Amino acid sequence: MQIKRALISVSNKTGITNLAKVLKKYNVEIISTGGTKKTLQEAGIEVTDISDVTKNPEAFGGRMKTISFNIESALLYDREKDAEEAKKLNIEPIDLVVCNLYPFEQVLLKKGSFETLIENIDIGGPTMIRAAAKNFKYVNVLTQVEDYQSFIDEFESLNGATSYEYRKELMTKAFNHTADYDAMIAQAMDAQTNKLSLRLNFKDGKTLRYGENSHQKAYFFRMKEAENTYHDMNILHGKELSFNNILDISGAVNSVKDLPQIACSVVKHSNPCGLAQGNNQREVLETAWQGDPISAFGSIIAFNTTLKKETVEFFQLTNEDKSKRKFIEVIIAPKIEKDALEYLQHHKNLRVIEYDLTKLPEYKDLRFINGTLLSQDIDNKLYEKLELVTKQQFDTEQNKDIIEFGLNAIKNIKSNAITIVRKKGSNYHLMGMGAGQPNRLISTELALSKAKEFIKQDFKGKEEDFEAFYKEEIKDAILISDAFFPFADNVELAAEKGIKNIVQPGGSIRDKSVIETCNKLGVSMIFTGIRHFKH
């Protein structure tokens, strides 16, 4: 379709004069309004005033400009079926609409008054856009500044025309644009009347290999306007991602993104079963892996620093003895050095991903449940206090870093959650964790059992000497609970296994009994005042 007439009416004037000049090169008549007309005329571009088409003046402070029988007819009529009727009515076709809407969003973000918000609700613009989009078979519609260049490329390559396929693409963008605009206004107006509503927009949907199980279909969408999402991950190698991979990637990234040193998380079923931070990336990986070597099979591993070859050689992917090769599903880091990538590519299915963890956006935590939606803030506060509540002393200031490390781990583990952490040398590491148990005592048992397995990996002596070695190693560890202890049984079990230090939120009606048990058993206890349930 050749373009002979264009209607340009934009709030955002970016790039509009350049676009208009390109149109003029092909002798396109430009119809325009108000501020847009002034901008184009100041650039020396000849413009037809909208009133010459509508046969009516702009009125009511600009509220009436483009809405008219002549304008909407010029956009909507079928160029083949309605040609004779249009001729009788003196309707000349408009082949292109360039329109972006009143800046309602900017006014809303600046907390403009209710009256200002109302004045920034566009009426004529959405009408033109929708009319042009409906009749895309014959009419082009541009709503985004970033599409101007692609339009120019198409327009010039076809000598002043556009293809049906391109107009169809513009049509989909136009209807999304007006839908987003109306949704934003509706939500803002609800807020003005003290109603809570939420309208979300997700785009760029793509099909995943399958859902949580192979018989479930799954799809992956990007939130409109969101930047640096998991949708933007740069997959350097390996097969496509599954639904579960993405959930586990999120768990792995969240476990290391806030840690201040070189860190590594080993995640299985969304829970970090291994987590460490320190000064040497290879050592940190080895320590994280040691947290649960069995569960690490088929895991997702995340780093918060540039990944090096000497680190990934730990996986022994080229070992002739295949039993020594470590199988993992995904490895993700902000940057992956070239030789590290080349080494990882020895595993043909391993997904190798670059993703900038430092720019991870924080939106609301949303969960869709059977026609309802839950929304909450992100859990991004570790503690309110570090209050020693027992007779047994514990230097919270000196141990603040390891406590923060442990709390970072606990808030990324499914509740009921227990972690056991310690600092050894320059490394902080997760020794054991219990996750997702309905009974907190079982989580404590699991964490203690895993911590014992962790320590056993370092033991080189005779079997009869292990218990003494274990007691010496565990005494400096800290047991952390995501929620308060409802009974003293967790303390009794932990003390029996050699734990000397416990961190928990506090707040139980039985806190007094729990503290008395700690005092009796020589265990220190710190209250944080913040719970970290993760369902």
State the DSSP code for 357: G
Q: Which of 365, 439, 379 shows the shortest CA–CA distance to 409?
A: 379
Choice among 269, 335, 423, 424 that is catalytic: 269
Tokens of 237: 């190698």
Rg of the Cα trace of the chain?
Answer: 31
**How far is it, in rounded angstroms, from Cα 228 to Cα 257?**
14
Q: What is the 3-state secondary structure (H, E, C) of 200-246?
A: CCEEEEEECCCCCCCCCCCEEEEECCCCCCHHHCEEEECCCCCHHHH
Give yes or no: 346 in active site.
Answer: no
Place of tokens 């009749």: 135
| Pairing mode, strands 372-376 and 271-278 | unpaired
Give yes or no: 269 in active site.
Answer: yes
**How far is it, in rounded angstroms, from Cα 506 to Cα 501?**
14
Tokens of 262: 């070189």
CB burial of 25-54 (b: ≥16 within 10 Å; e: otherwise) equals eeebbbbbbeebbebbeeeebebeebeebb
**Taking a C-beta distance cutoff of 8 angstroms, is the pair 172, 124 a contact?**
no
Choice among 4, 13, 21, 134 that is catalytic: 134
Active site residues: 134, 269
